[in-house]
Structure 1
Amino acid sequence: MDQPPLTPLLARAATAVFGNSPAGLRVPATLACAVVVVLVAALARELGGGRAAQSLAACCAAVSGIVLGTGHMVSTTTFDLLAWLLICLLVLRALRTGDGRWWFAVGAAAGIGLLNKYLVVLLLAVLPTGGRRDPLRRRR
């Protein structure tokens, strides 16, 4: 009762599609962790890294303990990591490009993240303290 419904719904969908087996239940978590590795490479690119930096970042993420630990079980932590990285990538893109339309994507990602775990509120609370507040004040 203390967790939002996204993770149980994904687990139910996995058992409906792949059957009631541990291997089938692990598919959403494995896919989420694969997307996490791609998002880490995209974050490196967004921060100005070349192909070597993106590859190194993706490799480090792929062998990190949190990705390997949560990549084989369906838990809120698995999808929380995905939501946090996606929100950070979208915020970086909005700040880098100055395009206010990216903030709608940040809101959508935050909404989906809140369907998984309420901890996303902490990320949303600290993002405005990063120093650049002018993109949030502009009207376009």
Structure 2
Amino acid sequence: MVENWAEACPGQPPVAGLPLQLVACAVLVDAEGRVLVTERPHGKEMAGLWEFPGGKVESGESPEAALVRELAEELAIATSATCLAPCGFASHAYASVHLVLLAFAIRKWRGLPRPREGQQMQWVEVPALFRLPMPPADRPLLGQIAAIL
């Protein structure tokens, strides 16, 4: 047992009072086991960082429906909520919002992913994900993804 548990658990304590933002993201896995990541475009917050495609869950929308919609908008691919397998989550407090990121592994979709919002994209082997510059909210997902893929 650790005497000083606060020292054994580094990190910042949660910030109270921030609005909660729910985001669904895709861990698209190709036939070779690689994962698709997209680069945040210039002009957006955290531009140049790599992330899993997806977006905000709108009011009255399920995370699965939001992700199906976002993939069509961002990457021009179609999938079904029944093709989404929950594979992890992360919780991170930014300065103005507390983000809860729900990750879904997807191996079945229709169409060839292509960037529709000016973003770059690349297929990456799972170990290489750990070397990419990513937003703080995405980083905790990496170990979860590596454990299941």
Using structure 1 for the length normalisation, give the TM-score: 0.28
Higher normalized strand content (fraction of residues)? 2
Higher normalized helix content (fraction of residues)? 1
